[in-house]
Chains A and B, each alone.
Chain A
Amino acid sequence: DAGVTQSPTHLIKTRGQHVTLRCSPISGHKSVSWYQQVLGQGPQFIFQYYEKEERGRGNFPDRFSARQFPNYSSELNVNALLLGDSALYLCASSLLNRGQPQHFGDGTRLSIL
């Protein structure tokens, strides 16, 4: 069975630009979460979506937004990119029951010049 897939794998942008990252969850998983992992740190929660509704948001500015589609895939959008947005962006999918593990994709490495 296919795991969580993310695209693209790598991306280079300049300050002020906009970026869209994409994620396809494991088949049957209706919950998708996004995390930001800065080099040398643990992942930080950005968003969770379930059935196209936002269920949680981390401490990130409004430049970050996301959405989930009817097929449960998801997009993360970041506007007005800053150097500090350089990070690995991880998508995770799960069954929406507390205690069910989240399954992660390999991430999108975003570099801001």
Chain B
Amino acid sequence: AQSVTQLGSHVSVSEGALVLLRCNYSSSVPPYLFWYVQYPNQGLQLLLKYTSAATLVKGINGFEAEFKKSETSFHLTKPSAHMSDAAEYFCAVSVQGGSEKLVFGKGTKLTVNP
């Protein structure tokens, strides 16, 4: 069964510093992977997706993620954090089968300090 593990429930960085949010997946088949961001009192907004094309995926707001099959990882990065990046981030894997079920990690709350 597919699953996602996000290491670190809370990450704190200074404004302008590198953002690194970790995601490891488990899947018996080539996965489709997604990163979503959730701002307070809002739904989830898609940041980027990996669907077996390029292993380095660029998303919105300057975020990118690299798919590493050997490490079963899909870590999210941004070179320079901005105050507006403070939010909760979720990694998700699409489950193969008749439904397009997403299995989410528990999320990582990102704090950006001035």
Contact = CB atoms under 8 A, between A and B. Distances in A.
A31 B99 CA distance: 10
B73 to A, nearest CB: 18
Contacts of B97: 56
Interface in B96-114: 96-107
Interface stretch (A13-21, A72-80, A98-106): A98-106
Contacts of B42: 106-107
A103 B46 CA distance: 7
A108 B24 CA distance: 29
12 contacts: A33-B102, A44-B104, A45-B101, A48-B100, A58-B101, A90-B44, A99-B51, A100-B100, A102-B46, A102-B100, A104-B45, A106-B43
Interface string A23-56: 0000000010101000011111100100000011
Contacts of B43: 4, 90, 104-107
Interface of B: 32, 34, 36, 41-46, 49, 51-52, 90, 92, 94, 96-107
B96 A99 contact: no
A interface bracket (residues with beta carbon within 8 Å of B):
20 to 34
Given A42-B107, A107-B43, A55 B98 contact: yes
Which among B44, B45, B103 has the highest number of chain A CB atoms within 10 Å? B44
A86 interface: no
Nearest to B98: A55
Contacts of A104: 36, 43-45
A69 to B, nearest CB: 19
Given A41-B106, A101-B34, A33 B46 contact: no
B36 A31 contact: no
A48 B105 contact: no
A68 interface: no
Interface in A65-113: 90, 92, 94, 96, 98-107, 109
Given A99-B51, A101-B46, A104-B43, A48 B101 contact: yes
Question: Can you list the 5 inter-chain pairs with the closest CB atoms, starting with the nearest?
Answer: A56-B99, A42-B104, A99-B51, A104-B43, A104-B44
